[in-house]
C-alpha cells in the first residue's frame, strides 16, 4: 500500500493506493495519526486507488472518526471504488462519516 | 526448507519405545497438499525412510541425515511409501543418484508399486497435483499376490540387504500384514489399510504406528480422490481402531500434521469412520472437477470475504453508535461476536495463497483444499445464532449457506438445489418488504423501555439491522397477478437480496423490479441507477451471481447502460 499526503487550503488529502488489510491497516492508522499529531484535523482520504478494505481497515476509520469529532474537525472519504463503497454502505459507515464522489466535491463543502 | 513447525520432537533423533536399539528422526510439517511428513528409522540392521515427501529440499535434508547415519554405521537403506501419491515421494526424484540407483530399495504395496513402475499419473495423483514424475523401480512389492500366506520368504537386494518377510493374511484385528525382519534388531510390521488409496499401508515398529493419510481420508476434498473407496476405508479405519485398542501402540505418526497419542487417535479414527459412512456416492476428485471446484472456491471466497467484512463492520458500527450513546456496556457485548482479526487473517491467508497460485504454478486442487481449510476455520469462528439477534439475519444466513455450499461441493456432493413451482410475484414482494422495514417496530421499542434486557436487545437489533431499502425508492412492477416459474426459492431469495445489496451498496437510490413472461420464460429484471461510471472490467460479484442464478434454477445477464445497471434473471415459466 502506498499513501501520499497533500495539503490544499488547510485540508489534508491522504491518497491511498492498494489493499487495506491486516498488514497495511496499521500503516494507514500511523499516517492518519501523524497528521492529527501535527494538528491537521481536516482529513480527506482519497480511496480511488483502494480496491479492498478488511474489517481491520474499517476499524482504523472508526477510530479516526472518534478522534475527529470536535467542532472544526473534518473527516471524509472520497472516490470509492464500487466494491469498497458497497462494504461502507452495507456496514452502516456512510452514516458515521461523509462520503464524497470526488475530492472537488468534498473540498467544496468543507 | 520448511521441515518443522516448532514441535519439540521434529528433526531430532529419539528412541523408539518398544524397539530396543531403534531410533526415529521425524520431519513434521504443517499440513498442506504439497508434501507429507517424513520419518527416518535407524536400527542396528537397517535405515528406513518412510515417505520422502513432495519437496526436493525436504528430500535433500533427509538424504543428508541418512548420509550422516551411514557414515557412522553403513547399513542397507529402504524407502517405504505409505502410498504412492506424489506428495509422499516425488521430492526424492530431484536426487537421481538416490531415486534411480540401487542405493535404496523402494518398498510399496503392489498396486502402488506397479503404478510407480509404469509411470501411472492417475493413481499417483500426478495429474491432479501437476507433479510429474519419472517411472521408478520398486524393489520390494508389499502384499504381492505371489507371496504365500504364513510362509517366511528370504529376499536379498542389490544394495546388500537381506530380509525375511512373512505374510499373514488375517493378522491382528483382521488386517492383512507382513512382518519384515532385517536382522537381529526390531522388525517392521506392515498392515494393508486401503481406502484413502488402493495401496495404502500402515507401518508399526515397537510402539509406534505410521498411518499415512488414513486419518484424513474422509476430509472434504481428500475423500473422493482417484482410487478412494468408502467401503474399504470404513473397514480399514475400524480394523486400525481395533489394532490400537488392543494395546501395544503408544503414538501414531500421521502422514501430515502432528504426532497423536494413541487415545486421541482412537477418538479420531472413530470420528473419521462416522464421517466416511456419510460419503456414499460422492463424485471423484479428478482434474476436471478440481478445476470446477477451484473456480467456485475463488468466487465463493470473494463473496465470503465481502460478507464477513460487512458483518464485522456492522458490529463495529453498532459498537461505535452505542459508545456514542453512552451505552458502552451493551457495546462490549456486540463487539465480541465476530473475531474480526482472526477472520481478516484467514481471508488474507487465502488471498495471498490464491495470488501466489495465480502467479505461480496455478494448481486447482491446492486452491480447492486451501479454501476448504479456511472455510472450516471460518465456520468455527462465528456464532450464527447470536449474530442474527443483532445484524441482518439474511447476511448471516447467506454467509452460512455459502460456507456450506462450498463444503458440500468439496465433499463431492452437489450443493442442494430444489427447484419447484413458485409464484415469483409474492416471493419478490416478500423480499422487498423484508428489506424495507426495521426488525422491531417503534411501538416495540417504546414498550420495551421498562425492561433493560429487552431494551438492549431491541436497541442492538435496530442499530445493527438498518433496512437496506429504507432510503431507497423501490418499486415492483408485475405483469399480471402471478408469474409461476420453476426455481429454488432459497437460492432465488439469496440472489435477489445480493442483487439489491449490490445496487444499493454501489449507490443506487432508485430500484425497480419488473416481472414478465416472454414465451416459455419467466423474466425478472432488477434495475437501479448507479453513481459510479460504467465498470470496464467484469466485477467478480457478477460472476458469483451468475453461478448463484444457476443454483436458483435460471440464468442471469448483467447490463449497464446510461447509468442504469440491469440484472435479468430468466427461468422456465410453469
Residue of B320, B505, B539 with shortest CB distance to A89: B505
**Residue B527 CB burial class (10 angstroms; 0-12, 13-18, ≥19):** buried
- In this predicted structure, the answer to whether residue B302 has a pLDDT above a threshold of 60 is yes
Q: Which residues contact B7 (CB under 8 A, 6 or more apart)?
A: B28, B258, B259
Look at A87 and B309 and tell me if their CB atoms are within 8 Å: yes
| Mean pLDDT (whole number) for B418-429 | 95
Q: How far is CA B274 from the centre of its chain?
A: 18
- In this predicted structure, the answer to whether residue B57 has a pLDDT above a threshold of 90 is yes
Which range scores top for mean pLDDT: B60-64, B344-348, B392-396? B60-64
Write a three-state SS string for B434-503. HCCCCCCCHHHHHHCCCCHHHHHHHHHHHHHCCCCCCCCEEEEEECCCCCEEEECHHHHHHHHHHHHHHH
User: How far, in Å, are A51, B301, B436 from residue B498 at the CA level?
Assistant: 20, 15, 15
Nearest Cα residue in chain A from B395: A90
| Model confidence pLDDT, tens digit, residues A39-64 | 999 999 999 999 999 999 999 999 99
- In this predicted structure, the answer to whether residue B7 has a pLDDT above a threshold of 80 is no
Which has the minimum average pLDDT: B161-175, B214-228, B439-453?
Answer: B439-453
Nearest Cα residue in chain A from B534: A82
- In this predicted structure, the answer to whether residue B8 has a pLDDT above a threshold of 50 is no
- Grid cell 459508545 is found at B323
CA B206, CA B20: separation in Å to the nearest integer? 8
- In this predicted structure, the answer to whether residue B517 has a pLDDT above a threshold of 80 is yes
Interface of B with A (CB under 8 A): 306, 308-310, 312-314, 316-318, 320, 323, 338, 340-341, 343-345, 347-348, 351, 466, 468, 501-502, 504-507, 530-532, 535, 539, 541
Residue A31 belongs to what H/E stretch?
helix A25-37
- Whether A55 and chain B come into contact, CB under 8 Å, resolves to yes
Q: What is the pLDDT of residue B38?
A: 98
Residues of A in contact with B435 (CB under 8 A): none
pLDDT band at residue B151 using 50, 70 and 90 as cut-offs: confident
| Model confidence pLDDT, tens digit, residues B238-277 | 999 999 999 999 999 999 999 999 999 999 999 999 999 9
Q: How many residues does chain A have?
A: 110
| Number of neighbouring beta carbons within 10 Å of residue B151 | 9
Look at A82 and B504 and tell me if their CB atoms are within 8 Å: no
Is 2.40.50.140 the CATH classification of the domain at B417-437+467-574?
no
Write a three-state SS string for B497-566. HHHHHHHHHCCCCEEEEEEEEECCEEEEEEEEECCCCCCCCCCHHHHHHHHHHHHCCEEEEEEEECCEEE
CATH number of A2-109: 3.30.750.24
SS3 (DSSP) at B213: coil
| Mean pLDDT (whole number) for B151-156 | 91
- Whether A51 and chain B come into contact, CB under 8 Å, resolves to no
- In this predicted structure, the answer to whether residue B534 has a pLDDT above a threshold of 60 is no
Q: What is the pLDDT of residue B532?
A: 59
| Mean pLDDT (whole number) for B456-474 | 87
CA B332, CA B328: separation in Å to the nearest integer? 6
Q: What is the pLDDT of residue B382?
A: 75
| Mean pLDDT (whole number) for B517-522 | 95
| Model confidence pLDDT, tens digit, residues A80-101 | 998 899 999 999 898 888 999 9
Which residue from B64, B120, B59, B113 is spatially nearest to B91, judged by alpha carbons?
Answer: B59
| DSSP for residue B116 | H
Residue of B318, B348, B505 with shortest CB distance to A22: B348
- In this predicted structure, the answer to whether residue B6 has a pLDDT above a threshold of 70 is no
| Model confidence pLDDT, tens digit, residues B111-147 | 999 999 999 999 999 999 999 999 999 999 999 988 8
pLDDT band at residue B466 using 50, 70 and 90 as cut-offs: confident
Q: What is the pLDDT of residue B571?
A: 97
Name the minimum distance, in Å, from the CA of B527 to any CA of chain A: 16
Name the minimum distance, in Å, from the CA of A57 to any CA of chain B: 9
Which part of chain B has CATH 3.60.15?
Answer: 14-208
Q: What is the pLDDT of residue B1?
A: 37
Nearest Cα residue in chain B from A91: B314
- In this predicted structure, the answer to whether residue B358 has a pLDDT above a threshold of 90 is no
C-alpha cell recorded at residue A55: 474489517
Nearest Cα residue in chain A from B340: A55
Which tops the pLDDT comparison, B495 or B445?
B495
Residue of B309, B318, B501 with shortest CB distance to A54: B309
Look at B310 and A90 and tell me if their CB atoms are within 8 Å: yes
| Model confidence pLDDT, tens digit, residues B328-353 | 777 777 767 778 888 889 999 999 99
Q: What is the mean pLDDT of chain B?
A: 90
Contact B119, B134 (CB under 8 A): yes
Which residue from B537, B543, B466 is spatially nearest to B505, judged by alpha carbons?
Answer: B466
| Mean pLDDT (whole number) for B27-37 | 93
Exposure letters B336-353 (e unless 16+ CB within 10 A, then b): ebbbbeebbbbbbebbeb
- In this predicted structure, the answer to whether residue B533 has a pLDDT above a threshold of 70 is no
Output phi, psi for B471, to 5 deg.
-105, 25
C-alpha cell recorded at residue B366: 491446492
Q: What is the pLDDT of residue B4?
A: 43
Residue of B344, B504, B505 with shortest CB distance to A54: B344
State the best of B325, B328, B344 to mutate against chain A, taking most chain A CBs within 10 Å.
B344
CATH number of B14-208: 3.60.15
| Mean pLDDT (whole number) for A55-74 | 93
Percent of chain B scoring above 70 in pLDDT: 96
- In this predicted structure, the answer to whether residue B5 has a pLDDT above a threshold of 70 is no
Residue of A21, A23, A86 with shortest CB distance to B505: A86
Nearest Cα residue in chain A from B533: A82
Amino acid at each position: 500500500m502506498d499513501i501520499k499526503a497533500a495539503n490544499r487550503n488547510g485540508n489534508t488529502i491522504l491518497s491511498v493506493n492498494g489493499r487495506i488489510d491486516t498488514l497495511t491497516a496499521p500503516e494507514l492508522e500511523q499516517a492518519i495519526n501523524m497528521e492529527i499529531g501535527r494538528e491537521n484535523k481536516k482529513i480527506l482520504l482519497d480511496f480511488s486507488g483502494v480496491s479492498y478494505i478488511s474489517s481491520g481497515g474499517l476499524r482504523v476509520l472508526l477510530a479516526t472518526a472518534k478522534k475527529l469529532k470536535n467542532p472544526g474537525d473534518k473527516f471524509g472519504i472520497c472516490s470509492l471504488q464500487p466494491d469498497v463503497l458497497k462494504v461502507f454502505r452495507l456496514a452502516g459507515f456512510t452514516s458515521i462519516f461523509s462520503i464524497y464522489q470526488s475530492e472537488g466535491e468534498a473540498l467544496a463543502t468543507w | 526448507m520448511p521441515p518443522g513447525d516448532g514441535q519439540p520432537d521434529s528433526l531430532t533423533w529419539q528412541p523408539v519405545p518398544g524397539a530396543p536399539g531403534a531410533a526415529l528422526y521425524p520431519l513434521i510439517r504443517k499440513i498442506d497438499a504439497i508434501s507429507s511428513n517424513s520419518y527416518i528409522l535407524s536400527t542396528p540392521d537397517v535405515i528406513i525412510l518412510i515417505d520422502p515427501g513432495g519437496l526436493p529440499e525436504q528430500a535433500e535434508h533427509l538424504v543428508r541425515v541418512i548420509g550422516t547415519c551411514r557414515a557412522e554405521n553403513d547399513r542397507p537403506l529402504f524407502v517405504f511409501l505409505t502410498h504412492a501419491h506424489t506428495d509422499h515421494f516425488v521430492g526424492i526424484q530431484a536426487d537421481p543418484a538416490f531415486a534411480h540407483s540401487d542405493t535404496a530399495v523402494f518398498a510399496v504395496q503392489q498396486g502402488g508399486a506397479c503404478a510407480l513402475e509404469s509411470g501411472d499419473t492417475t493413481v499417483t495423483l500426478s495429474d491432479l497435483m501437476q507433479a510429474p514424475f519419472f517411472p521408478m523401480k520398486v524393489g520390494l512389492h508389499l502384499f504381492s499376490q505371489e507371496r504365500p500366506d504364513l510362509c517366511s520368504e528370504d529376499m536379498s537386494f542389490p544394495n546388500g540387504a537381506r530380509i525375511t518377510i512373512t505374510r499373514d493374511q488375517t493378522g491382528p484385528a483382521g488386517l492383512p500384514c507382513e512382518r519384515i525382519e532385517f536382522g537381529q534388531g526390531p522388525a517392521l510390521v506392515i498392515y494393508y489399510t486401503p481406502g484413502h488409496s488402493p495401496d495404502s499401508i500402515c507401518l508399526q515398529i515397537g510402539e509406534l504406528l505410521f498411518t499415512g493419510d488414513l486419518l484424513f481420508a474422509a476430509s472434504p476434498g481428500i475423500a473422493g480422490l482417484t482410487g478412494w473407496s468408502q467401503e474399504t476405508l470404513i473397514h480399514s479405519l475400524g480394523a486400525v481402531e481395533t489394532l490400537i485398542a488392543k494395546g501395544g501402540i503408544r503414538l501414531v505418526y500421521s502422514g501430515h500434521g502432528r504426532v497423536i497419542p494413541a487415545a486421541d487417535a482412537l477418538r479420531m479414527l472413530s470420528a473419521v469412520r462416522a464421517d466416511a459412512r456419510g460419503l456414499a456416492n460422492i463424485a471423484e476428485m479428478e482434474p476436471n472437477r478440481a478445476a470446477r471446484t477451484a473456480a467456485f472456491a475463488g468466487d465463493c471466497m470473494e463473496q465470503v470475504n465481502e460478507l464477513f467484512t460487512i458483518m464485522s463492520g456492522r458490529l463495529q458500527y453498532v459498537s461505535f453508535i452505542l459508545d456514542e450513546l453512552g451505552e458502552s456496556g451493551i457495546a462490549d457485548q456486540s463487539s465480541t461476536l465476530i473475531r474480526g482479526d482472526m477472520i481478516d487473517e484467514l481471508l488474507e491467508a487465502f488471498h495471498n495463497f490464491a495470488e501466489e497460485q495465480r502467479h505461480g504454478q496455478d494448481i486447482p486442487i491446492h486452491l480447492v483444499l486451501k479454501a476448504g481449510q479456511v472455510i472450516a476455520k471460518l465456520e468455527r469462528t462465528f456464532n450464527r445464532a447470536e449474530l442474527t439477534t443483532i445484524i441482518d439475519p439474511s447476511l448471516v444466513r447467506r454467509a452460512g449457506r455459502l460456507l456450506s455450499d462450498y463444503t458440500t461441493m468439496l465433499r463431492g456432493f452437489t450443493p442442494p438445489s430444489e427447484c419447484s413451482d413458485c409464484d415469483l410475484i409474492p416471493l419478490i414482494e416478500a423480499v422487498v418488504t423484508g428489506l424495507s422495514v426495521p426488525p422491531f417496530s417503534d411501538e416495540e421499542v417504546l414498550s420495551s423501555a421498562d425492561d433493560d434486557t429487552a431494551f438492549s436487545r431491541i436497541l442492538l437489533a435496530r442499530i445493527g439491522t438498518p433496512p437496506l431499502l429504507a432510503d431507497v425508492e423501490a418499486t415492483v412492477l408485475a405483469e399480471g397477478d402471478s408469474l409461476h416459474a420453476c426455481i429454488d426459492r432459497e437460492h432465488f431469495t439469496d440472489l435477489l437480496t445480493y442483487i439489491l445489496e449490490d445496487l444499493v451498496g454501489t449507490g443506487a437510490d432508485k430500484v425497480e423490479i419488473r416481472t414478465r413472461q416472454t414465451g416459455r420464460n419467466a423474466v425478472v429484471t432488477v434495475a437501479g441507477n448507479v453513481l459510479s461510471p460504467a465498470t470496464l472490467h467484469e466485477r467478480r460479484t457478477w460472476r458469483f451471481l451468475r453461478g448463484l442464478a444457476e443454483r436458483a434454477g435460471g440464468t442471469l445477464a448483467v447490463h449497464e447502460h446510461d447509468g442504469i445497471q440491469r440484472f435479468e434473471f430468466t427461468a422456465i415459466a410453469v
